[in-house]
Amino acid sequence: MDFKYLCDKYQLNDTETSILKYLQENISDLKKIGIRKVAKDNYTSTTTVYKLCKKLNFEGYSDMIYHFTYSSQINDSETNVDIYTNTNKQIDKNLEAFNNILKKYKNKLIMFVSTGISQTIANYMNERLSVNGYRSIANAHIQLLSKEHKGEVLVFAISRSGETKSLIDILEQARDNDIEVISFVGNANSKITKLSTLPIIIQGQDDFAKLKNPPSTFFSELLLIFECFISDLLS
């Protein structure tokens, strides 16, 4: 965690700075510290802590803790695993299925659903598809997930935790109405993985998951995999 950088970039007030400093000082125990304890130890409310999460562009408290914990382990990670090794496995495993699904929806609608930092990635992927002739939108429209849109709408979901409640609600509706879903998730055992037609696991059950201190490369891997898929699809 680059404490000074975050404070300066997001213009944190004294209370927010105190909370961030507290998280930094307890970085090795963050997974055991709940939002209520953070609030209590900093003489503030859980609402203030949650607002800090959103201010830093995280989906919520769990997403922020996940990011801080694994970011802190990058420098001292005991790994010889190359990011490309892990990425290539996902490309080899999912390329054909991904392309087959995308080809079915060439002249139909693709809808991206995401929250927080993932929304920035979704916006890029949406633009990438749009400029190459796909009908693509980067906002969730629940009315498009009804049964009459079966086979007409494809959903892309992005969630590092795979447990984002708002996305789970959307994907459960998609599943109930037989709407296909491609997801990029960081947890092979998550609810979003189970709700997806084609879940693409990043840092899930591959080499990084076997390490004691896995580095956080979710978004970089996601973009690399997506670009490989699209390049092959358009070739």
Q: 3-state class of 181 per DSSP?
A: strand
- Predicted TM-score of the model (pTM): 0.62
Q: Token match 């409640």: residue?
A: 165
Half-sphere exposure of 172 (CA within 13 A, CB side): 8
> 47-53: long-range contacts (C-beta < 8 A, 24 or more apart)?
48/15, 48/16, 48/19, 49/19, 52/12, 52/16, 52/19, 52/20
User: Which pair of tokens denotes residue 89?
Assistant: 């496995």
**Which residues neighbour 187 within 8 Å (Cβ) at sequence distance 6 or greater?**
161, 162, 163, 193, 201, 204
CA 125 to chain centre: 13
The pLDDT score that the predictor gives to residue 148 is 93
Write the DSSP assignment of 103-131 as a string of letters.
HHTTTSEEEEE--THHHHHHHHHHHHHHT
The pLDDT score that the predictor gives to residue 79 is 44
The pLDDT score that the predictor gives to residue 1 is 55
The partner residues of 159 in beta bridges, in order of sequence, read: 185
* Surface-to-core class of residue 47, CB atoms within 10 Å of its CB (0-12 exposed, 13-18 middle, 19+ buried): exposed
pLDDT in tens, the chain (235 residues): 567 778 888 899 999 999 999 998 888 888 788 999 999 999 999 999 999 999 988 888 888 888 777 666 544 444 444 556 667 788 888 999 999 999 999 999 999 999 988 999 999 999 999 999 999 999 889 999 999 999 999 999 999 889 999 999 999 999 999 999 999 998 888 999 999 999 999 864 344 444 445 556 788 889 989 998 998 888 7
Helical segments of 145-217, H only: 165-176, 191-194
Cα–Cα separations (whole angstroms), residue 151 to 68, 183, 215:
40, 17, 38
What is the chain's length? 235
